[in-house]
Amino acid sequence: MNKRFEFNALPFDGPFDKQLLSLVVPLFNERPMLPIFFDRVLTVLATLDLRWEIVLVDDGSDDGSAQYIRSVIDRTPGVRLIKLSRNFGKEAAMTAGLEHARGDAVIVLDADLQDPPEQIPAMVECWQSGVDVVLMQRRSRAGETVFKRWSAHLFYRLLNRTSRTNIPVDTGDFRLMSRKAVSALLVLTERNRYMKGLFAWIGMPTQVIQYDREPRVAGETKWDYPGLVGLALEGLTSFSISPLRWATVIGLIAASMGAVFGLWIVVKAIMLGDATSGYPSLVALISFLGGIQLMSVGIVGEYVGKTYMESKQRPIYLTEDVVESRDGLRQQAKQKMTETRHVKAV
């Protein structure tokens, strides 16, 4: 744990003719991962002919992750900790990291090493050849259940059918973005942040690299199925209003079916003198229509809710602390008083 990292690479304060690469790492309760994380990432960074910085965003961990990172900062220049005031979720944590990153290029990387840092040199090479976005596409997803793979596959396809923004299949948040791409992304100030969609929305020259997604090295995933369903709904409703249209179309279909059925009953009664035994069909109709109505109200509600959340214009995240080391000196900058006061008032 107290291993010293001594490398010849050029961190933040290296010669300024070199370009600066930022790694943005959102993390939430990843304490068991951190020693291995630093070991592997710093080894890779040491091989690059670039200045670098690692921006770790602690998304409200309560397992001592922040303390460990502080101890790394004490002995490793170029590492920075952005500590959020509570758990805001990965999307907000990534936004915080992107806002604080100063690099000419920024790579977003998970702390659990599922996005292998050994891919960084290839990503940097692509970027240096002139593209603005280097997208990492999963060739395989080791350590994930068949159901998770299958549901992810289905979700991406549904998403792309419904929205005009083409969100590439089987890509996560693991990617490199040029300064130009990051600036474009930061212009999007919406509160409901479905990052994969926002990443895709900005466009820009993109190159795809395939990689094998590794299983988590330690700790456990923060996503459970309700969480993933929530994220999926967020994705669908953030990038298209076609679910609203579906509600209208389904409503129209149900109404037409009802009308035809009604006509059929009348015709049957007149022509055949056949009095309809109404009760079972009535129950079926009422529950069918009731279901459609509730679903439609729910869909409309999703959008109304989103509009409500957006209208409050709250910040996407709040920082509690920014800790960084330059030349081995630890600098600790308390956030602006107003923000701190706001946190206390909540």
- Where on the chain is the footprint of Mg ion (CB under 5 A)? 112, 114
In the complex, least distance from residue 174 CB atom to Mg ion, rounded to whole angstroms: 10
100: Cβ–Cβ under 8 A, 6 or more apart, which residues?
55, 57, 80, 82, 322
In the complex, least distance from residue 214 CB atom to ligand UDP, rounded to whole angstroms: 10
**Which of 28, 68, 199, 201 is in the footprint of ligand UDP by CB under 6 A?**
28
User: Which of ligand UDP, Mg ion, none has residue 192 at its interface (CB below 5 to 8 Å by kind)?
Assistant: none
In the complex, least distance from residue 300 CB atom to ligand UDP, rounded to whole angstroms: 28
Using CB under 6 A as the binding rule, whether residue 324 contacts ligand UDP is answered as no
Q: Which of these ranges, 86-94, 242-250, 276-284, 321-329, lies near ligand UDP under the rule CB under 6 A? A: 86-94
Three-state SS sequence of the chain: CCCCCCCCCEECCCCCCCCEEEEEEEECCCHHHHHHHHHHHHHHHCCCCCEEEEEEEECCCCCCHHHHHHHHHHHCCCEEEEEECCCCCHHHHHHHHHHHCCCCEEEECCCCCCCCHHHHHHHHHHHHCCCCEEEEEEEEECCCCHHHHHHHHHHHHHHHHHCCCCCCCCEEEEEEEEHHHHHHHHHCCCCCCCHHHHHHHCCCCEEEEEEEECCCCCCCCCCCHHHHHHHHHHHHHHCCCHHHHHHHHHHHHHHHHHHHHHHHHHHHHHHHCCCCCHHHHHHHHHHHHHHHHHHHHHHHHHHHHHHHHHHCCCCCCCEEEEEEEECCEEEEEECCHHHHHHHHHC
**Which of 51, 80, 83, 90 is in the footprint of ligand UDP by CB under 6 A?**
90
User: Which of Mg ion, ligand UDP, none has residue 28 at its interface (CB below 5 to 8 Å by kind)?
Assistant: ligand UDP
In the complex, least distance from residue 269 CB atom to ligand UDP, rounded to whole angstroms: 59
Positive or negative CA dihedral for 11, 28, 196, 88? Answer: negative
Using CB under 6 A as the binding rule, whether residue 85 contacts ligand UDP is answered as no
Residue 56 φ then ψ, to 5°: -95, 125
Q: Which is nearer to Mg ion, 112 or 324 (CB)?
A: 112
**Which of 67, 140, 189, 221 is in the footprint of ligand UDP by CB under 6 A?**
221
**Which of 73, 111, 181, 202 is in the footprint of ligand UDP by CB under 6 A?**
111
**Which of 19, 43, 87, 151 is in the footprint of ligand UDP by CB under 6 A?**
87
User: Which of Mg ion, ligand UDP, none has residue 223 at its interface (CB below 5 to 8 Å by kind)?
Assistant: ligand UDP
Q: Which is nearer to ligand UDP, 218 or 250 (CB)?
A: 218
**Which of 78, 89, 97, 197 is in the footprint of ligand UDP by CB under 6 A?**
89
**Which of 7, 150, 223, 303 is in the footprint of ligand UDP by CB under 6 A?**
223
Q: Which is nearer to Mg ion, 91 or 112 (CB)?
A: 112
Using CB under 6 A as the binding rule, whether residue 95 contacts ligand UDP is answered as no
Binding site for ligand UDP (CB under 6 A): 26-28, 30, 59, 87, 89-90, 93, 110-112, 114, 221-223
